[in-house]
Amino acid sequence: MNPNPTQEQLWFLPLGGTGEIGMNLNLYGHAGEWLMVDCGLTFNAPINPAFDKDERVTRHPLVSADPTFIEDRKDALQGIIITHAHEDHVGAIPYLWQRFKKPIYTTAFTAEVLKRKLSETDFAEEVPIVIVDHKARFWIGAFECEWLGITHSIPEPYGLVIRTPAGSVFHTGDWKIDQQPVVDSVMNVDHFKQLGNLDITAMVCDSTNALKSGFSISESQCEIGLYHYVNSAPKRVVVSCFGSNIARLITLARIAARTGRYMALYGRSLKNMLAVARRTGYWPDDCQVIDHRHTGYLPKHEVLAVATGSQGEPKAALARMAKQNHPQVDLDAGDRVIFSTIVIPGNEEAVNNLVLRLEAMHVEVIQAQDSALPIHASGHPNEEELKLMYHWVQPKIAIPTHGEQEHLERHAQIAKEMKIHSQLLGRNGDLYQIAPQTMVKRGFVDAKRIAIKQPRPQERRDTRKTDKRKGNKDRDHSKLNDQQMNSW
């Protein structure tokens, strides 16, 4: 089979993120050209995914999809789109971008997150970042791309409509339907209903929660459970959540104020995300965060600490607290630790070991899966949300992605129940031919993983110096010019 698509062909080729959760790297091919959508990482993983559950094999801190296939065709690669700022979608860019050296298209919030990551490299000033916004529509090589605002668990997530003369795709990215999001606007369903009139050839869609019935709960509902557990705690409270969930941090800040506590952040990713949220206007002025070094001077019942490490990461703030070697927080019997997250598949043993260590210190532990009240909301669609999206968009072909095999299979079944004509199931490295014929070519690419080498601390660039470089801010936040942008 010709390794390059013709004028009549539209291809989808996942190198990462299909048959697994995380490490997304997707390629679209048409007329001899390629478009990359997302470039992410997975964490604490082996190189061979067959051994993901085997604790005896070597696990690497950072792992990405092997980009060799598109690196060998980088002259045909027209650009890189990042749908949102989660690590499994953007995290590999600082390590892989020099292999491609192509423009990056993303939103202002994601660009700010990416800029901070790139500031630790020697090539930050070389990376062209084009800022896009809701309903932006323009050509990237042979691909006409339109951004549609959607709802997820981080600011500014976007789905993509990718049009070519051969066919069109709606690439959902990560999404859910949330009628009461804490940040961002409510998803405008009319925009997705309009796609149903546009003869969309295929929908490439998130499968993470395809096994869950009903609808996912709103992010705003987490305040009910979190307020209860914080307000009823007699001593110090530590909450561990995903650092990128700005909405959860805002909720916790408001709960701290209501319960007479002071909130402090422990962990680099939390502090970085707070800075990004402030810079991009997502952090409310009334949400106060104190210096983390000051909590030791406060009565314990006035402390609400938010810490990284909800997945049992050994070097994260919560693990250090559990080992009693954190420089600012010494957990005591009677303190309460709240896991305001799910356990990502593969992290079960690490989280369980962390919980056992905390309980051995007589620290009370509350986990989301055991809580009668909501303390975590997923950012992905349950079964009924998937059905609604298929009802609105009406694609000819369903391509489940972003999930393990059982998630993909259930997603395909849901699409079939919604009378979608074709459901294509595959894995990383399989080539999905969307047009003119519908088929999956198994093992088109040997989809491998690679371990990412992290720079030593002394090799990291000084972020403050990078931020002061002349023109850095203007370059990263430049808007599309009139020639690039077509009106809707």
Tens-digit pLDDT profile for residues 387-417: 999 999 999 999 999 999 999 999 999 999 9
The residue-averaged pLDDT of 449-472 equals 55
CA distance 455 to 111: 22
In this predicted structure, the answer to whether residue 467 has a pLDDT above a threshold of 70 is: no
CATH code of 219-370, in short, is 3.40.50.10710
Q: Which residues contact 289 (CB under 8 A, 6 or more apart)?
A: 253, 263, 264, 265, 274
Residue among 376, 245, 237, 238 at smallest CA distance from 317: 238
What number does CATH give the domain 10-214+379-476?
Answer: 3.60.15.10
Task: Quote the percentage of the chain above a pLDDT of 90.
Answer: 85
Q: What is the pLDDT of residues 103-115, one digit of tens each?
A: 999 999 999 999 9
pLDDT in tens, 60-81: 989 999 999 999 999 999 999 9
Confidence of residue 135 (pLDDT cuts 50, 70, 90): confident
CB 15, CB 96: distance < 8 Å: no
Q: Give the pLDDT band (50/70/90) at residue 184.
A: confident
Per-residue model confidence (pLDDT) at position 45: 87
Categorize the per-residue pLDDT at 468 as very low, low, confident or very high, splitting at 50, 70 and 90: very low
Q: Stretch 35-56: mean pLDDT, rounded? A: 86
Please state, in angstroms and rounded to a whole number, the distance separating the CA atoms of residues 322 and 310: 12
Question: What pLDDT score was predicted for residue 2?
Answer: 72
How many other CB atoms are there within 10 angstroms of residue 292's CB atom? 21
Q: Where are the beta strands (DSSP E) in 290-420?
A: 303-307, 336-339, 364-367, 397-401
Same topology for domains 10-214+379-476 and 219-370, yes or no? no
Q: Does the structure show a pLDDT above 80 at 464?
A: no
Question: Which whole number is the average pLDDT over 227-251?
Answer: 97
Q: So what's the pLDDT on residue 432?
A: 98
Token pair, residue 380, equals 């992905």
CA distance 316 to 312: 8
Q: How much is the average pLDDT of 294-319?
A: 95
pLDDT at residue 344, rounded to an integer? 84
Give the pLDDT confidence score for residue 134 in this predicted structure: 85
Residue 15: closest CA among 432, 464, 469, 326: 432
Which residues touch 154 (CB under 8 Å, ≥6 apart)? 84, 85, 86, 109, 244, 245, 246, 379
Average pLDDT over residues 28-38: 98
Quick one: pLDDT band at residue 455, thresholds 50, 70, 90? Answer: low
Is pLDDT at 459 greater than 50 in this prediction? no
pLDDT greater than 90 at residue 453: no
pLDDT tens for 148-179 read: 999 999 999 999 999 999 999 999 999 999 99
Q: What is the pLDDT of residues 326-374, one digit of tens each?
A: 999 999 999 999 999 999 877 899 999 999 999 999 999 999 999 999 9
Give the burial class of 423: count Cβ atoms within 10 A of its Cβ; 0-12 exposed, 13-18 middle, 19 or more buried: middle
Rounded to the nearest integer, the mean pLDDT of the chain is 92
CA angle 88, 89, 91 (to 5 degrees): 70
Kindly tell me the burial class for residue 315, based on how many C-beta atoms sit within 10 Å of its own C-beta (0-12, 13-18, 19 or more): exposed
**pLDDT-derived band at 470, boundaries 50, 70, 90:** very low
The residue-averaged pLDDT of 38-43 equals: 94
Band the pLDDT of 180: cuts 50, 70, 90.
very high
pLDDT at residue 258 above 50? yes
Give dist(CA 392, CA 161) in Å, integer. Answer: 14
pLDDT at residue 185 in the model: 86
198-222 pLDDT per residue, tens: 999 999 999 999 999 999 999 999 9
Six-digit token pair at 186?
């409510």
Structure tokens at 310: 């909800």
Query: What's the pTM?
Result: 0.90
Q: Hey, where are the domains in the chain?
A: 10-214+379-476, 219-370
